[in-house]
Amino acid sequence: MSGGGIAGILMIFLLVIVLFIAASCVKIVPQASAYVVESLGKYKGTWATGLHFKVPFIERVAIRVNLKEQVVDFPPQPVITKDNVTMKIEELEDKSGVEVSGRGILHLSVLMESMRREGFEFQVGRPRVLFKKDENGNKMEPVEQAVVECPDEYSGKVVEVFGTSGGIMTSMDTSGIVTHLEFKIPTRGIMGLKNRIMNVTHGEGVFYHTFLEYGPYAGEIGNRQNGAMISMTTEKAVAYALGTLQERGQLFVEPGTECYEGMIVGERSKAGDMVVNIARTKNLGNQRSSTSDISVQLVPPRTFSLEEALEYIADDELVEITPKNIRLRKRLLNATDRKKAAVRAGQVNK
């Protein structure tokens, strides 16, 4: 036999031996304990990516993931804890509720949204700022710096909106396309200002504000000018009644919505509240007309997020928060009780 044939036989023999050893390793290693595999992986790092070493590691990781999912599935813990040092909670003197103080509407709305998702049902009044007094006894209130960037053609409307909310313009920079405006405005005037800025800029404005300092009390600031449409009965809203009401303002409900007495169902286009009948139906007669079968065309109702609802309500109104709905209502549901309270407050004549 030639030398080349002998070398070929030896190579085949060695190859068979290597394959036998490799097959033995594949059979033995999966049967080893996790501790052995992990120890081998420390010394043979390149083996840790191999198939036979990867299987035990996958099993161990899967167990940890399952344990983690079980922890996440536990019910959420209450948000009100002693560790939340930025929030102050005090019970009212008449034991009718609690007063919560935080760093802003967003801070408070996070707490409310967490409580709502935990199944709580509660009512919230209009947010108010916390006043202070200086060393001379003068009343001080928080002042914020507001920045607006908008197209040039809307800058005049933005300045007008801030002027009616107690703002003072401190800087104006016009680059030819976009106008950069800066204002100093009391925090009381900031509430509800974002939506007004978005409306006058047709959604093209950028609005930002941050706390600046405590400054002198700026006096009374104009609140919402338009009145509210208030339901007079506890019934479902009817399309026929809403069709006539939408001519007088903007609706907050749609046909089929469950309403109750004292619930705010829309915003009036004029000042002053108006009690409406949201369940009024069409009077049926024994004659037909050519327009009797025409359906009512309704504009989609305006919806509120939690922050928008808190900014919208007046002092005599509340936001009702439930796990499924966010509603607006009057503090006094009965129209007669509201009239008596207004007389006692001197807002109307007897």
Closest CA to 325 of 311, 308, 305, 299: 305
CA distance 100 to 88: 6
Sequence letter at residue 127: P
List, in order, residues 6 or more apart from 83 with CB less than 8 Å away: none
Question: pLDDT 10s per residue in the chain (350 long)?
Answer: 555 677 777 778 777 776 665 554 443 333 333 333 333 333 333 222 222 222 222 222 222 222 222 233 334 444 444 566 777 777 778 777 888 888 778 888 888 888 888 888 888 888 888 888 888 888 998 899 999 999 989 999 999 999 888 899 999 998 778 999 999 999 888 887 888 898 899 989 999 988 888 888 888 887 778 899 999 999 999 998 999 899 999 999 999 999 999 999 999 988 889 999 998 888 777 776 655 555 778 889 999 888 888 888 888 899 998 888 899 999 999 989 999 988 888 776 55
Among 222, 178, 191, CA closest to 308? 191
pTM, two decimals, is 0.67
